[in-house]
Amino acid sequence: MEKQGKIFIVDDNEDVLIALHYMLEPFVEKVRVTTQPSRIEHYISTFQPDVILLDMNFSKDVVSGQEGFYWLEKILAIDPQAVVVFITAYTDTERVVRAIKAGATDFVSKPWDKEQLLSIISSGVKLKRSRIEESKPKEVIAALNEGNNQLPTIIGQSPAMQEVFRKIQKLAEAEANVLILGENGTGKDLVAHAIHHFSPRQGKPFASIDMGSIPETIFESELFGYEKGAFTGAKDSKAGRMEIAKEGTLFLDEIGNLSYDMQSKLLTAIEKHEISRLGSTRKTSINVRLICATNADIRNMIEEGKFRQDLYYRINTIEIKMPPLRERGDDILLLAEHFMQHYAKKCKKKIEGINREAKQKLMRYNWPGNVRELQHLMERAVIFADDKVLKPCDFDFQPTIIEEKSIETVDTFNLEELERNAIEKAVKKANGNLSYAAELLGITRYALYRKIEKLGL
């Protein structure tokens, strides 16, 4: 039988607590007990129970049940969705009706019937979880949908991308925080989604904040949330991204833009595993997997005193470097073909391919905007193309002009040395792209492979 629910029991009789703990332990996920009602708020915020079993009568007031009603009111003020079941030796119809009207879910008499109590607890767990689902704000629903979306397509055969894939695979069973480094447009957000998709947190929320697009003044409220009336314009309470990402993944994009002051607040939240909404003193425990990304030189920022070193170590358990597109060789053409097919289908156009001259033009370009720039370029090319095959004129950019160095005077006429020198220069000019290098040399790619192997390059 699958164990369900976290149960919190409040009773002034230690024997009752021991008996209930012993009885419930085989049937529920976790049990917490206390003889001190003053500890209720602490347990609600840290343990977050599904069902609270609450004694009606404590030592100060033996039979009236007034203390029970007092603590019920306190519990519902802390958590309006709480499922509270009263337990007491003194029951009557009037008191039961009053308890239900006050917000209690059910009533259990002492001594209790085991099967009845288990049934009440099982129903209480289902009720609590249904209340949570129903009360989830649209932001949480959106984060769940984002976390459960189909795995993003990441294309690449270059050695640098294979290393990225290897690290994503290694992270499949890990909970470590990840820092993704790379230029704008290299696909850092896709890698963050892929890490979440393959992690144990798959199926949980995926919440993100782009630090490069939100003002510093509202970052704290976006991250931690706020209560109604916390500041001018706060007409309703709102959960922050850390709260929305509960048990899932929080993606902080362009974390290098975070101010030093906010870095301290983020570090505190990570270390203590708890947050407080603006305008509230209540602490909420958090359990999120943190993935951060930036195009900034974080290590240089640390040396300049612009980024906290202790925060850097917290977010950088695992580091993934995204290569710029210009260093990915044949991946340029793979991606171009992928985007061409995608937009041809979307625009309902019959585009069959990219001709040789157009491919050469794509390979000679420096791609300062990386994959994002290539994607937008291919979309425009497909939309405006007049023929079934894309040509150089369909791409509205100028290839990078590579300055030719003057021919160096050589002291040898050894053919092998001259061949080695020519291959090295061609591969360098092609930015490691062997297909383009072979074209520059006027030989096939297979022939180039053989020569590289023969010369030990």
pLDDT in tens, 347-393: 999 998 999 999 999 998 989 899 999 999 999 999 999 999 999 99
pLDDT of residue 402: 41
Sign, CA torsion 45/48/50/53 = negative
* pLDDT-based confidence at residue 80 (cuts at 50, 70, 90): confident
Rounded Cα distance, 352 and 363, in Å? 19
pLDDT in tens, 308-357: 999 999 999 999 999 999 999 999 999 999 999 999 999 999 998 999 99
Question: 226 or 142, which is more confident?
Answer: 226
User: Which among 207, 237, 242 has a CA at the least distance from the CA of 224?
Assistant: 242
Residues 6+ away with beta carbon under 8 Å from 416: 455
Asked if 107 contacts 101 with a C-beta cutoff of 8 angstroms, the reply is no
* pLDDT-based confidence at residue 138 (cuts at 50, 70, 90): low
Tell me which CATH code domain 6-135 carries.
Answer: 3.40.50.2300
pLDDT of residue 401: 44
* pLDDT-based confidence at residue 411 (cuts at 50, 70, 90): low
The answer, yes or no, to whether residue 146 has pLDDT greater than 80, is no
The CATH architecture one would assign to domain 326-394 is: Orthogonal Bundle (1.10)
* pLDDT-based confidence at residue 396 (cuts at 50, 70, 90): confident
How much is the average pLDDT of 282-298? 91
Rounded Cα distance, 338 and 359, in Å? 14
How much is the average pLDDT of 445-452? 74
* pLDDT-based confidence at residue 233 (cuts at 50, 70, 90): confident
* pLDDT-based confidence at residue 147 (cuts at 50, 70, 90): low
How much is the average pLDDT of 270-295? 90
pLDDT of residue 399: 63
> Among 58-72, 168-182, 293-307, which stretch is predicted with the lowest mean pLDDT?
58-72
On average, the pLDDT of the chain sits at 84
Residues forming beta bridges with residue 9, ordered by sequence position: 33, 53
Rounded Cα distance, 3 and 188, in Å? 39
Residue 366, Cβ density class (10 Å: 0-12 exposed, 13-18 middle, ≥19 buried): middle
Rounded Cα distance, 87 and 299, in Å? 58
Tell me which CATH code domain 415-455 carries.
Answer: 1.10.10
**Are both 143-321 and 326-394 of the same fold?**
no
The answer, yes or no, to whether residue 404 has pLDDT greater than 60, is no
Residues forming beta bridges with residue 274, ordered by sequence position: 285
The answer, yes or no, to whether residue 406 has pLDDT greater than 50, is no
**Under CATH, domain 143-321 is a member of which superfamily?**
P-loop containing nucleotide triphosphate hydrolases (3.40.50.300)
* CA distances to 172, 223, 420 from 456, in Å: 37, 54, 9
Question: 409 or 113, which is more confident?
Answer: 113
* In the chain, domain spans: 6-135, 143-321, 326-394, 415-455
The answer, yes or no, to whether residue 239 has pLDDT greater than 80, is yes
How much is the average pLDDT of 72-96? 81
- Count other Cβ atoms within 10 Å, centred on residue 291: 30
Q: Quick one: three-class SS letters along the chain? A: CCCCCEEEEECCCHHHHHHHHHHHCCCCCEEEEECCHHHHHHHHHHHCCCEEEEECCCCCCCCCCHHHHHHHHHHHHHCCCCCEEEEECCCCHHHHHHHHHHCCCEEEECCCCHHHHHHHHHHHHHHHHHHHHHHCCHHHHHHHHHHCCCCCCCCCCCHHHHHHHHHHHHHHHCCCCEEEECCCCCCHHHHHHHHHHHCCCCCCCEEEEECCCCCHHHHHHHHHEECCCCCCCCCCCEECHHHHCCCCEEEEECHHHCCHHHHHHHHHHHHHCEECCECCCCCEECCCEEEEEECCCHHHHHHCCCCCHHHHHHHCCEEEECCCHHHCCCHHHHHHHHHHHHHHHHHCCCCCEECHHHHHHHHHCCCCCHHHHHHHHHHHHHHHCCCCEECHHHCCCCCCCCCCCCCCCCCCCCHHHHHHHHHHHHHHHCCCCHHHHHHHHCCCHHHHHHHHHHHCC
Query: pTM for the complete prediction?
Result: 0.61
